[in-house]
Structure 1
Amino acid sequence: MKSTGAEEPSRRGNTSYWQLQDAKARFSDVVRRAVEQGPQHVTVNGEERAVVVSAREYDRLTGHRTGGELVALLVDSPLAEVEFEHPRITGPVRDVDL
Structure 2
Amino acid sequence: MTVTTLSSRAFQQNANQAQKAAEKGPVFITRRGEPVQVLLSIEEYRRLTGQRRSLVEALSKPGLSKIELDIPKTRDLPRPADLS
Distance 1:66 1:18, change over 3 A: closer
- Identity among equivalent pairs (%): 28
| 2:6 paired with 1:18 | yes
Q: Which has the higher relative contact order, 1 or 2, with Cα contacts under 8 A spaced 6 or more apart? A: 2
Q: How many pairs are equivalent?
A: 54
User: Are residues 1:64 and 2:64 paired?
Assistant: no
Query: Paired residue for 1:31, among 7, 19, 23?
Result: 19
Which structure 1 residue ranges, 5 or more long, are not aligned?
1-13, 68-84, 86-98
String of CA shifts for 1:10-34, please: whole Å, max 9, x gaps: xxxx421100010111101101110
Structure number with greater Rg is 1
Q: Which runs of 4+ in 1 moved over 2 A?
A: none
Give the 3-state SS of the residue equivalent to 1:61 in structure 2: helix
Structure 1 residues 1-98: aligned runs within 5 Å: 14-35=2-23, 37-65=24-52
Ranges in structure 2 where 5+ consecutive residues have no aligned partner: 55-82
Q: Distance in 2 between matches of 1:40 and 1:31?
A: 8
Normalising by the residue count of structure 1, what TM-score does the alignment of the two structures yield? 0.50
